Structure formats: structure tokens, C-alpha cells
């Protein structure tokens, strides 16, 4: 479950906190992830290779697998504990790694789509994260990022990625208590 925190800086969610996060996300936030998954599914090409950055316990990837079993799913999280929980939740439905957004363990031009939910406001160096996203995206590939309005939106589109659209996103009942912004960005030629 997303939590508001206004300070930026690399902050993995670990140990007891990661287990509590997993429980809360699965109990309360499923409708939110279903909505985000439906939004992603609407523009993902058939059989697309998709990476979720800061995947946490992998709830968005689970929802994506249910909606679009044709997608080839990968996920990374800075916290090894979260990656363990994601492995438990996803089994072999996704390739998972413990990694920083700013140092992605993938070759260039690997993904059609990079997505992220409620994670980019935690990244220590969002500009380096965006450059890494641009590196691992294929030409014409896109980023879809869903996060709080105070996330580092400008840093994400400062170099390798160009903003296509940034708008408020209605994420179900949680819109009553928290606002979500959606950024669609494309790899610069």
C-alpha cells in the first residue's frame, strides 16, 4: 500500500515493514492495482516485454498477469525482502531482481514498456533512474508511472525520456484519501 513521504532519497522498505506492506497492499489496494493494470493493458502491445520498477510485493504484476497473460513480466525492487515477497506472490510468472532504478540489471533496448507505481518518490536519483529506463526501453518504448503529485516528475523527463502526457489518475476509492498522478513518457530518439 502506498505511503506518503515527502523526502526523496533511496529508501527500500524492508523486514517487518515489507511484510506489513504486502498484507495491506493485498487486502486494501487490489482495486487500485486492477485499475492501473487495466490502464497499462489498454496500451501494451501483444506479447510486450514489461518491467515494473519498485515492484514491492509484486501486486501490480499479479494484476497484470491476470488481465494480460500474454505479457512477458519483469520486476525490480531495491529491497531484497520485497523481491522475496514478490517471488512468493508471483512464482515463475515474472523475472525478479533486487536492483536500484538507477542501475538496472538488463541489456539495452530490452523492454516495450516500463511501469512503476508509488515508487519513484523514493528514488535517490530519479534523473539517473529515468536515463536507465530510457536505456532499457526499445525505440518507441514508453514509461507509465503512477505516483503521488509530489513525485520528482520533472527529473524523470529531464534527459532520456520526453513527457507525452501528465494527468491526474482516478485510482478507485483511494482517490478520496490520496491523489495519484499518471505520467506517460517516451524514449527520446
The distance of closest approach from Cβ of residue 114 to ligand SAM in the complex, given in angstroms and rounded to an integer, is: 12
Q: Which stretch binds ligand SAM (CB under 6 A): 7-15, 133-141, 159-167, 176-184?
A: 7-15
Of 89-148, binders to ligand SAM (CB under 6 A) are: 100-101, 117-119, 122-124
The distance of closest approach from Cβ of residue 161 to ligand SAM in the complex, given in angstroms and rounded to an integer, is: 16
When the beta carbons of 129 and 139 are compared against ligand SAM, the nearer one is 129
Angle between helices 80-90 and 15-28 (to 10 degrees): 40
Phi and psi for 103 in degrees, rounded to 5? -150, 75
Nearest to 147 by CA among 44, 53, 63: 53
Residue whose C-alpha cell is 515494473:
52
d(CA 181, CA 57): 21
When the beta carbons of 48 and 115 are compared against ligand SAM, the nearer one is 115
When the beta carbons of 15 and 47 are compared against ligand SAM, the nearer one is 15
Asked if 20 and 3 touch (Cβ cutoff 8 Å), the reply is no
Q: Which residue is nearest to ligand SAM, using beta carbons?
A: 56
* Positive or negative: CA dihedral 39, 42, 43, 49: positive
When the beta carbons of 54 and 160 are compared against ligand SAM, the nearer one is 54
DSSP letter for each residue of 83-123: HHHHHHHHGGGEEEEE--TTS-SS-TT-EEEEEEES-GGG-
Q: Which stretch binds ligand SAM (CB under 6 A): 77-85, 89-97, 136-144, 162-170?
A: 77-85
Angle between helices 30-43 and 59-67 (to 10 degrees): 50
When the beta carbons of 112 and 132 are compared against ligand SAM, the nearer one is 132
Contact between 53 and ligand SAM per CB under 6 A: yes
Interface residues with ligand SAM (CB under 6 A)? 2-3, 10-13, 25, 53-56, 59-60, 76-79, 82, 100-101, 117-119, 122-124
Amino acid at each position: 500500500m502506498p505511503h506518503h513521504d515527502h523526502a526523496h532519497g533511496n529508501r527500500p522498505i524492508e523486514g517487518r515493514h515489507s511484510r506489513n506492506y504486502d498484507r495491506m497492499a493485498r487486502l486494501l489496494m487490489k482495486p487500485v492495482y486492477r485499475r492501473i493494470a487495466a490502464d497499462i493493458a489498454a496500451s501494451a502491445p501483444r506479447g510486450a516485454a514489461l518491467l515494473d520498477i519498485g515492484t514491492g510485493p509484486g501486486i501490480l504484476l499479479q494484476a497484470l498477469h491476470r488481465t494480460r497473460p500474454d505479457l512477458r513480466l519483469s520486476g525490480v525492487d531495491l529491497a531484497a525482502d520485497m523481491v522475496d515477497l514478490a517471488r512468493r506472490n508471483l512464482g515463475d510468472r515474472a523475472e525478479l531482481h533486487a536492483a536500484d532504478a538507477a542501475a538496472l540489471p538488463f541489456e539495452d533496448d530490452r523492454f516495450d514498456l516500463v511501469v512503476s507505481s508509488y515508487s519513484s518518490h523514493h528514488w535517490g536519483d530519479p534523473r539517473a533512474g529515468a536515463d536507465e529506463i530510457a536505456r532499457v526501453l526499445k525505440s518507441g518504448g514508453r514509461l507509465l508511472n503512477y505516483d503521488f503529485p509530489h513525485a520528482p516528475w520533472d527529473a524523470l523527463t529531464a534527459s532520456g525520456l520526453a513527457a507525452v502526457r501528465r494527468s491526474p489518475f482516478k485510482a478507485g476509492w483511494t482517490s478520496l484519501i490520496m491523489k495519484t498522478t499518471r505520467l506517460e513518457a517516451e524514449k527520446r530518439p
